[in-house]
Structures are given as structure tokens and as C-alpha cells.
């Protein structure tokens, strides 16, 4: 029911009908309030605050964890967000940025946001809407539909443990660089159809990085890429580079991408 009620609010934001702001803590709270306004009385309030729910103030949440990941203590949230938004405090820092430059800065912001985890619920959806709006502000379409849940979870855990971990920047490059996003969209459509279809959200699917050597089992070919299943997930290699594939150890290795 929560997802049903919030889905059209997220769509409003994608259509440019969400709250405007300066990509700071107040803007983040406004986006959370917009998404969850039909569900929670405390929409727009962070977990260290004491909003009124059912006529009474609720207690703040200081300690929060998910699995083996422990998030920032509630008493440090305000300071954590000040540090988090430092990379985008200068409004010109992303002006005329390439998708890769945008992803590097936005990835660090998202890593820090994951660690701060400022809301009681709905952090992921709020952060994704925030990053999409940041991309729109600087001329980038951040298409997170090409990012599987397994990949987002994996990158989020890595970034929470190390805010400089490159996994989130690579994820956002795939979602922002038009050619990479198109290749992943086409590959996911191929993998998700037919008798051998697999649940995509359980898979880590990404494009090959520049200079990467990919070794794995050949799984699929589309008009834009060939897919190899590797120990770390499914990797899409541009069609032009498939000619460099050599058979090796029961699979293939693609060199010098």
C-alpha cells in the first residue's frame, strides 16, 4: 500500500512537479515530504526529530542498522548532512559536467547519504529522487531503471563502509551516460524475456569499465553489447570489442576494452 501511494508522487517529481530547492538538507526533507505525504504523518521529518504522530510527539531514533551495516548516530545527522553536501555546495561545480564527472561527485554524495540514513523509512527512494533532480538541474538524465536492486544494494553497502569506494560512481555512470544506459536497457530486456528469463533484480548487471579485462561465460548478445557472466555479475561489453574475445578456461576473456 505504501508503494502504491508513493509511486505517483515519485512520478510527479520525475515530471518536474516536485519541490524545488538548493540541493541541501531542506531540499532533501521536502522531497521526502512530497513522496510520503499520503502515508506518514512524519513525512519530511528526520529520525533525530520529534514530529507529532497520532497527537503525541514520538521519540527520536538514535541508533539504526540494517543487516551488518550501522548508520550514523541520530545525534550527528545535522553535521553529517553538512559534510555530505559539501561536494555540491558550489552551484557551478557540476556545470557543463560530463556524465562521468557528474557520477563521480554524485556518487560520493549518495555514499554519504546512505551512511547518514536520515529518515525512519524511505531513504532509498528519497535519495534516488534527489539524485535524479540533481542530474536534471545540470542536464543529465539519471535513468536508475537500468540499475538492478542487487547492484544498488551492493554499491550502497560498499559506499557506506568507504565513502570513496568507486562502485556508486560506476553505477551512476551507467545510469547517466546515454550509450551505457541504452546498452543496459537493451540487455535487461533480452535477459528478462524468453524461456530462460531470470529475475533481474537478483543480478548485478553493469557495463565494462574503460581498460577493464572481462572474463566469463558468454550469455547473450544484443545490437549494442555482448553479455558475459562473471563471478561478480553480468558485464556488458560493447559489440565492437567482442572481436577481442578469446576462448579461455571454459569461457571467454575480452582484453583491452
Could you give the CA distance from residue 170 to residue 168 in angstroms, rounded to a whole number? 5
Contact predicate 36/46, CB 8 Å = no
Q: Which three cell numbers stand for residue 13?
A: 517529481
Report pLDDT digits (tens) over 101-126: 999 999 999 999 999 999 999 999 99
Domains of the chain: 2-176 (1.10.3290.10), 199-254 (2.40.50.140)
Q: Which three cell numbers stand for residue 172?
A: 551512476
Average pLDDT, the chain: 93
What is the average per-residue pLDDT within 187-216? Answer: 88
Report pLDDT digits (tens) over 59-77: 999 999 988 889 999 999 9
Sheet with 214-221, edge to edge strand ranges: 205-207, 233-238, 225-230, 214-221, 251-254, 245-248
Could you give the CA distance from residue 234 to residue 229 in angstroms, rounded to a whole number? 4
Q: Is 73 left (phi over 0), alpha (psi -120 to 50) or beta?
A: beta
Q: Which long-range contacts does 154-160 make (Cβ < 8 Å, 24+ apart)?
A: 154/204, 156/111, 156/114, 156/124, 157/69, 159/107, 159/110, 159/111, 159/114, 159/115, 160/69, 160/71, 160/111, 160/114, 160/115
Q: Is the model's pTM score more than 0.85?
A: yes
Amino acid at each position: 500500500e505504501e508503494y502504491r501511494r508513493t509511486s505517483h508522487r515519485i512520478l510527479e517529481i520525475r515530471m518536474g512537479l516536485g519541490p524545488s530547492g538548493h540541493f541541501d538538507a531542506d531540499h532533501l526533507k521536502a522531497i521526502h515530504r512530497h513522496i510520503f505525504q499520503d502515508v506518514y504523518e512524519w513525512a519530511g521529518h528526520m529520525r533525530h526529530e520529534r514530529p507529532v504522530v497520532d497527537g503525541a510527539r514520538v521519540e527520536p531514533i538514535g541508533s539504526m542498522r540494517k543487516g551488518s551495516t550501522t548508520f550514523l548516530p541520530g545525534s550527528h545527522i545535522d553535521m553529517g548532512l553538512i559534510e555530505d553536501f559539501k561536494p555540491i555546495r558550489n552551484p557551478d561545480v557540476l556545470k557543463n559536467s560530463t556524465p562521468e564527472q557528474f557520477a563521480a561527485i554524485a556518487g560520493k554524495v549518495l555514499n554519504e547519504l546512505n551512511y547518514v540514513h536520515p529518515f525512519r523509512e524511505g531513504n532509498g527512494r528519497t535519495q534516488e529522487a534527489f539524485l535524479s533532480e540533481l542530474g536534471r538541474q545540470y542536464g543529465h538524465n539519471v535513468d536508475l531503471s537500468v540499475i538492478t536492486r542487487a547492484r544498488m544494494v551492493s554499491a550502497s553497502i560498499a559506499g557506506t563502509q568507504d565513502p570513496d569506494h568507486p562502485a556508486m560512481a560506476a553505477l551512476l555512470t551507467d545510469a547517466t551516460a546515454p550509450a551505457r544506459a541504452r546498452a543496459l536497457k537493451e540487455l535487461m530486456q533480452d535477459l528478462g524475456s524468453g524461456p530462460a528469463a531470470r529475475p533481474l533484480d537478483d543480478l548485478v548487471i553493469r557495463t565494462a569499465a574503460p581498460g577493464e579485462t572481462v572474463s566469463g561465460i558468454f550469455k547473450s548478445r544484443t545490437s549494442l553489447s555482448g553479455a558475459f557472466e562473471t563471478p561478480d555479475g553480468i558485464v556488458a561489453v560493447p559489440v565492437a570489442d567482442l572481436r577481442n574475445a578469446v576462448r579461455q578456461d571454459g569461457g571467454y576473456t575480452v582484453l583491452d576494452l
